[in-house]
Amino acid sequence: MVGETSKYEEHIHSLAVYQELLEQHKAFNLSRLIEENLRPNLTGDTLIGDDKINYRGNGIFFIDDAFLQEYDDIDEVKDGESNFLVTFFHLGSKLSGHNGIVHGGLLATLLDELTCRLAFQNFHSKKGVTANLNINYKKPCFVNSVVMIKCELSRKSGRKCWVKGSVFSVKDSELELLTECECLVIEPRWVKNL
């Protein structure tokens, strides 16, 4: 498995889209340290393996300092502001629903997890739960492929964050939209119990 993971990681890291994002992130991330307090057990452990999630990259966060220091309401993320997350995956053949197509439930799980991870950064507690997840499947996501999931904060009101998530197939420098969602993430009153 170690050799296989290395092969997938090397492939993803060589993609033009990945390289461009990494360059943007190096320039962007000079003063920003994002710490996640929740390990992705399901998608980072249970579903990892040969012909399952062959590679799960670390989240690449682009969040302006103001969003990380002030937890005010956000009507919208304006032009020139950044509040988004990008993560790359290689999805194997054991993740299929229909023959050769990644199960829609797995895509829903990935979108749920990653939209929440972005929303958490916009809450003072850095924790929350999904209240609602609406998904639109546009095109099939084929097994044995690289996908990029991008999550963008739409707005925030009190203890509620709305995040848009998108799954793209990746072919070097080309992205094709496969699935979209909007997730409502809340910071519940009982957040200390999480």
CB-based contact 101:141 (threshold 8 Å): yes
Place of tokens 């050799």: 3
| Residue 112 bears catalytic tag | yes
What phi and psi, each to the nearest 5 degrees, are found at residue 78?
-80, 160
Query: b/e map of 152-190 (b: 16 or more CB within 10 Å)?
Result: bbbebeebbbbbbbbbbbbeeeeeeebbebbbbbbbeee
Axis crossing angle, helix 2-14 with helix 16-28, rounded to the nearest 10: 80
Query: Which one from 50, 51, 112, 172 is the annotated catalytic residue?
Result: 112
Catalytic residues: 112
